[in-house]
Structure 1
Amino acid sequence: MSDSDEDNDANLPSRDECEKRCQKFATVTGTDTALAMFYLQDRDWDLERALNAFFGGSSQDSTDASSKPVEEETPSQSDVVSDSEPHRFRLLSWNIDGLDDSNLKSRTKGVCDIINRDNPHMVFLQEVIPKSLKLIEKLCPQYQAIPGGRDDYFTAVLLKSGSVEFESSNIVQFFSSLMERNLLGVKCKIKGVPFLVMTSHLESCKEHSRERINQLKKAFSLMAKAGDDRSVIFGGDLNLRDPELDKAGGLPEGVLDLWEITGKRPEAKFTWDLQRNDNLEWNMKFRPRCRFDRLYLRHSKLKPAIKPVYFELVGIERLTSCQRFPSDHWGILTHFDILDRVDK
């Protein structure tokens, strides 16, 4: 065995980890572990690269131009690199806990690292403060930031330049909110598909359930009233409990819960999970796990233009800089196919 072979073997994940990645690939793609092994072995067991290659419709990796020698590039390859996944877009939503001053710079940098790594076309952020927004704009210059009002803490939408065309934005005030919460709406086109996207940080705390329900109903009403030609996505840190959704009348006709319709994967359910995330000091014996962060979809009324294919959590690894997580919430990352481009 050569030295290089020994080095490669040393860098392989453990057997248990390889099996875990095979199972995850098979679950996400709806295939089997044999095909998973084929894709993963060719990509050094990098699950993200393997999934990108599969959904790109090719067994060859098409994700990263920097891994190819410059002299091998051709004009046609350069065109592919500019959008290696013409059929795919990603949306990330995350409460980044800007109100926690501890390790704010390190944690915000960790958020930016994940944004740059996962390359979402659009980002919903909650609990942004001016200091963290300034850092995000510096470290993620490829995104246009649209803040959602207020001077202390607020929501924001990030749109990836070159892939998302901004049209307009507006802020809907929740006038009965004791916390001055609102809803930020943005009209845009993602790879030519018209969207209305909306994010909010709904009223916090159990005792403000009635106000939170009213805010949720208002958001659902706005989804229903959106233009027939637009796909509508609403979500964020909704602080929502399942009984509250029932009290709001349940999901309106035509509105889909993205976690549910992508398989209800239990490992991606709880976004505020104090059993796994210890950023927040919690002195009580019972440590709650809640699905506070949610995303909802209303298809274009003319013709469905997108298909949700995968829902996952991000930000679940500790930062080496401070040994904390980027936020006390996990982020939620959803992958979509653009239907008229899937077979192209």
Structure 2
Amino acid sequence: MAKILRHHPSNSTSEDDDDGTDCPLSGAEALAACKEFASVTNTDSGLAMMMLQQNGWDLQRAISVYQGLQNKSKSTRLKTTPKTSESDSKRMKSKEATTTSEFNDDKTKVKSRFKLLSWNIDGLDEQINTTETRIYGVIDVIKR
């Protein structure tokens, strides 16, 4: 059974939140599914775990959804490549959250740790169609 522990840098008094995402697989099976997903999609185990959780730990469905997202992302990038203004880049702020995963199994004890970077790319202004421009701005900042 997998237990997902989250630590958010906030004023909260509890560092461990059980968000109810229970894994129907044993620790060894979940780890194997993460490794298989990462191998097939050429990604890391953090993304693999997220995609598997979002798809009920169904490996085939998670891979299909991921590939669909990649195809959609590629077609969107081919259509437009907007430039980000410096003011948009300055308005973007980041928060960092750390997620620790523990797979509990009689035979296997695995701990993994990864960091999550989150940006509010919607912005506060009500201009139409600025989200896509902001997304490319975030990508540019991350690439640096």
TM-score (normalised: structure 1): 0.14
Q: What TM-score, normalized to structure 2?
A: 0.33
Give the structure with the higher percent helix: 2
